[in-house]
Amino acid sequence: MNLVVDTSVWSLVLRRPRVDEDDPHVRAFRWHLDSGDGIILVGNILQELLDGLRSTKQFDRLLALLDPYPLLDLDRQTYIAAARLQSLCRSNGVNAGSIDFLIAAACCQHGFPLLTADKDFMRIARHCDLVTLPT
C-alpha cells in the first residue's frame, strides 16, 4: 500500500531528541516502513520538515534521509480540489490551513491514505474521501 506521511508524524520520528516508540503514530510509521509500503511525500511536507533547521549539517542530514521517498505530483486539479474542499469545510465550520487542504486533496486525488497526528485532518476527512491513519 502507498501512503502519505504528514509532517506531524515525520516530526515525531525525525525531529525529536528522543523518539517515543510507544506513540501510536510512531508505531504505525514503523509498521508501514517495515511492511515495505510505499511512503510518499507531498512537496509542502518536505518543505515543512526542512524549514527551521539550525545548521546546514542538520539540513543536509534530513534531506539525505528523505531523499528515497518520492514526491507526489500535484497538478492544477489538485489545487482546485483543495480550494473546493477548503470552501466546503469552512461552510461546515471546519478551519485549517491551506496547506492541510492541499495535502488532503492530493491524498484524495491519488487514493492514498494519510498517516497523521494532526487532528485537523480528522475533521477534514469528515467532508471528503480522505482516509487517515492510524485508525
pLDDT tens, position by position, 73-107: 999 999 999 999 999 999 999 999 999 999 999 99
Residue 80 and residue 58 share a domain: no
Query: Is 98 inside a domain boundary?
Result: yes
Query: 83: exposed, middle or buried (C-beta count within 10 Å: 0-12, 13-18, 19+)?
Result: middle
Query: Is 22 inside a domain boundary?
Result: yes
| More confident of the two residues 52 and 62 | 62
Query: Domains in the chain: how many in total?
Result: 2
pLDDT tens, position by position, 44-57: 999 999 998 889 99
- Choosing from 66, 101, 116, the residue where a domain stops is 66
**pLDDT more than 70, % of the chain:** 99
Query: Is 135 inside a domain boundary?
Result: no
What integer pLDDT is reported at residue 16 of this predicted model? Answer: 80
Residue with cell 517495515: 34
Residues with Cβ within 8 Å of residue 107, at least 6 apart in sequence = 4, 113, 114, 130, 131
Query: Is 71 inside a domain boundary?
Result: no
Containing structural domain, residue 36: 2-66
The mean pLDDT value of the chain amounts to 95
Query: Is 32 inside a domain boundary?
Result: yes
